[in-house]
Amino acid sequence: MILECLKENDTSIKALALDLIYLVSNESNVKNIIKELLNHLLTLTEDDDFTQELTNKICAILDKYAPNRRWYIDTFIKVLVLAGNHVGEENTSTFIHLVAGTPPL
């Protein structure tokens, strides 16, 4: 139900839903939540501010709850493909350090 609120036209409802999704994220649901947020990212076309906020929350959830480095890297690449211009410099820097520090991946 919370994920459905991301489809609302009212930006305050979308922002509150996104904040709530971030708060309920944890190690056991991170894969499902990120999958749903990435699917939602696919549907966004016009709201640059919300796209930026959504991308920031996805990156924050990844940083906090990624089950392993491989999944983190694969998922972050998907975020870059879907919303590259909206990925913050800080998140990109973290990603580059992780890739550089994990030569096998």
- 1-31 pLDDT per residue, tens: 888 888 888 889 999 999 999 999 999 999 9
* Per-residue model confidence as pLDDT tens digits over 62-93: 999 999 999 999 999 999 999 878 888 888 88
Q: What are 1's two structure tokens?
A: 């139900």
State the Cα–Cα distance between residues 19 and 66, nearest whole angstrom. Answer: 18
- H-state helical runs in the chain: 11-24, 30-43, 48-65, 69-83, 89-100
State the Cα–Cα distance between residues 8 and 57, nearest whole angstrom. Answer: 18
At 102 the pLDDT is 83
* Per-residue model confidence as pLDDT tens digits over 33-53: 999 999 998 887 666 788 899
